[in-house]
Amino acid sequence: MNQPNLDVRRIAGALGAEIHGVDLSVPLSPAMAVAIHGAFLEHGVIFFRGQSLTDATLKQFAANYGSFFRHPYFVPEGDPDIVVIRRAPGDTRIVGEGWHSDTPAVAAPPKISILYGEDIPPYGGDTLFANQYLALETLSPVMQRMIANVKGVYSDTKVASPSLSRNANGATRLRDGADYTPSEGVHPIVRTHPDTGRKALYLIRPLLLHFDGMTAEESTGLADFLYDHSHRPEFTCRFRWEPGSLAMWDNRCTAHAALNDTGPFHRLMRRVQLQGDIPA
């Protein structure tokens, strides 16, 4: 298969690249889909600008890379495969605050998240990404051996439980009644990427209850150290959103955080996720 020459421009030393000259609203050729996936695996997160996508064409692009993952606690607005992410003036919380990888409180978390910017404020709302290959590789050999077989126990009750009253503070709707069912996942904090074979740190502190076999108190010190280490500035890149921008990131080897600094403006994004494997 002849590979197309993609215009790929790195945006930081650690991870992240913009791809130019591709219209995602039309079906990709098999060669183009493969080339984009190669850039995705190399850079951890890739970005496209100037796109014009409907729900149908967003899903058409995403379907090149797997089957859809339906989020356990966001309330869909129409298509159940798409999460509509809203930010309204006065919101005290937004989706994605705090460094994390998406949806670890399930047996098989999503492998890929794709976020499309529709209504974008004139400033603020940037998203930060961090390379978790580097986060692991820069730990001392002793620490790497120490955590090699440790597992984290995750629960979405820490971010989505009806008792938290999250719907009172943000425009994106969560299940907050009888339709909410807590979910839990137990995953190694060092995972091997199934496509690249590389090992990455996989620690999602906001949803972590404790390390498997340890109490919450015993887990806290190590968890806090690894979490702080995982997003050191030299591991990161920062993306400035524009209308029609799209980000596609690898939940198996990156972490990300959204900034809630858009002042008096509305913001509207659409996200799809693709089903992943059980972390190993």
At 188-240, the pLDDT tens digits run 999 999 999 999 999 999 999 999 999 999 999 999 999 999 999 999 999 99
pLDDT at 1: 53
For 7-274, which CATH class?
A: alpha beta
At 105-157, the pLDDT tens digits run 999 999 999 999 999 999 999 999 999 999 999 999 999 999 999 999 999 88
By CB atoms closer than 10 A (0-12, 13-18, 19+), residue 274 is buried
If phi over 0 gives left and psi between -120 and 50 gives alpha, with beta otherwise, what is residue 78?
A: left
pLDDT band at residue 93, thresholds of 50, 70 and 90?
Answer: confident
Domain ranges, ordered by start, for the chain = 7-274
**Is-contact 208 222, C-beta < 8 A?**
no
